[in-house]
Amino acid sequence: MDDKWTYDELKAAVLAYVEMRELEASGQPFTKKQYYRDLAGKFGRTEKSFEYRMQNISYVYSLMGRAWNSGLKPAKNVGANTAKEIERIICEVEGRENQQVATFEAQVSKHRSQKSLGKPLGTKQPKQYQSSVSSYQRDPVVKAWVLRNANGQCESCGNAAPFINWAGEPFLEVHHLRQLADGGSDRVTNTVALCPNCHRALHYAQDKPVLLDALYAKTPRLIRE
């Protein structure tokens, strides 16, 4: 059997996963192994291969910031292109607009895992595209570099990341000091890694100007825009 999964195989796996997800949410009983058995019989792969693919689907859900099926712990070992296809199929099956959140985060994870990651130039004026909400095309290397440079510590308060995510990485959120919607650049000179509390503070705190001034003062790479 070819190791490369076809679209039909991936879609069948996603359909089965979504069905189990809905059954679990409604409290209805089901047997995961039966799904693996049925898929294996249809496509000629092993039941174990479909179980692991389900864990890859859990990983894509986790990258999308959504709940995944219990008992199917997210498995990070999935190629960026496959993760992109899984996310596309999930959105297709669920009737959602594909914001490519998991696709972007999978690319970030890939860059973070590289032995060498040079400081990226980034994009001065990120390309804007229209969807149900306005979004911007960001550079995953910029986010990966900022997260690696932070080394698991919030660049505002200095505290350690509050937890380790399912990819085994310290969880910090990347924030543009001048927001993209306000004309800010997607460069490391405008981007910091923050704990969730400091991230929210930089959006909503009454003393936001003071926090911003402190970040610019303590972080040499940052440039006001």
pLDDT digits (tens, 9 = 90+) for 38-67: 999 999 999 999 999 999 999 999 888 888
Beta strands in 107-216 (DSSP E): 128-129, 135-136, 173-176, 191-194
| CA–CA gap between residue 152 and residue 138 (Å, rounded) | 21
| CA–CA gap between residue 136 and residue 125 (Å, rounded) | 10
Please answer whether residues 108 and 193 qualify as being in contact, where contact means their C-beta atoms are separated by less than 8 angstroms: no
Among residues 68, 83, 69, 79, the alpha carbon closest in space to that of 30 is found at 69
> What confidence tier does 132 reach under pLDDT thresholds 50, 70, 90?
low
Among residues 48, 49, 46, 69, the alpha carbon closest in space to that of 59 is found at 69
* pLDDT given for residue 68 in this prediction: 87
* pLDDT given for residue 130 in this prediction: 72
- Residue 1 predicted with pLDDT over 80: no
The architecture of the domain spanning 127-218 is Orthogonal Bundle (1.10)
- Residue 133 predicted with pLDDT over 80: no
More confident residue, 97 or 60: 60
* pLDDT given for residue 97 in this prediction: 87
Among residues 14, 177, 159, the alpha carbon closest in space to that of 82 is found at 14
b/e burial code for range 63-74 (CB count within 10 A of at least 16 → b):
bbeeebbeebeb
Say what the pTM is: 0.75
- The domains of the chain are located at 7-105, 127-218
What average pLDDT does range 174-200 have in this prediction? 92
Judged by average pLDDT, the poorest of 79-93, 119-133, 149-163 is: 119-133
Please answer whether residues 87 and 102 qualify as being in contact, where contact means their C-beta atoms are separated by less than 8 angstroms: yes
pLDDT in tens, 25-37: 888 999 999 999 9
Please answer whether residues 159 and 133 qualify as being in contact, where contact means their C-beta atoms are separated by less than 8 angstroms: no
